[in-house]
Amino acid sequence: MFDKERIKEKLSNLELYSKRLSSIVPKNSDSYKNADIILKSAIERNLQLVSDVELDILALLYKGLELKLSGDDLSLIESLNGKLSKKSINKIKERRTLRNLLIHAYADSGYEEESFKQAYNTSDIIEFIKEVRQLLA
């Protein structure tokens, strides 16, 4: 049985972070590369929040579906194959990988291109939200 209220709250947070990203991300990758550290940090932090909330939602779905798998983040994500689209699963994996790189190697600026790409195009986040809502219905 799903904890629909908690999932809906998390989906609402996800929408907020997605809208925030869309409102602050520069219009092109060159502008992003030349942006100040405060803007880049805000974008990276919101990407991390999106990833964390997506994983929270997956954990709630996993629990609600009473799946009998266990393991790390990747196992949790993979456990919902067939319940969510392959595209959503792949984007969640990409975002989770970037999140882990940002958290564990923050001083390295080699993630600018991927950060910009994920922040600039948030359509996958909106699609994920729709898929979760359909799953709850």
Kindly report the CATH number assigned to the domain that includes residue 49: 1.20.120.580
Name the band, by pLDDT with cuts 50, 70 and 90, for residue 68.
low
Better pLDDT: 104 or 37 = 37
Name the band, by pLDDT with cuts 50, 70 and 90, for residue 71.
low
Per-residue pLDDT at 47? 97
Tell me which residue range forms the domain holding 128. Answer: 4-136
pLDDT at 44 over 80: yes
The number of folded domains in the chain is 1
- DSSP class of residue 105 equals S
Predicted model pTM: 0.84
* DSSP per-residue string spanning 6-59: HHHHHHHHHHHHHHHHHHHS-SSHHHHHHS-HHHHHHHHHHHHHHHHHHHHHHH
Q: Which two tokens stand for residue 66?
A: 């009473």
Helix (H, G, I), strand (E, B) or coil at 106: coil
What percentage of the chain reaches a pLDDT higher than 90?
68
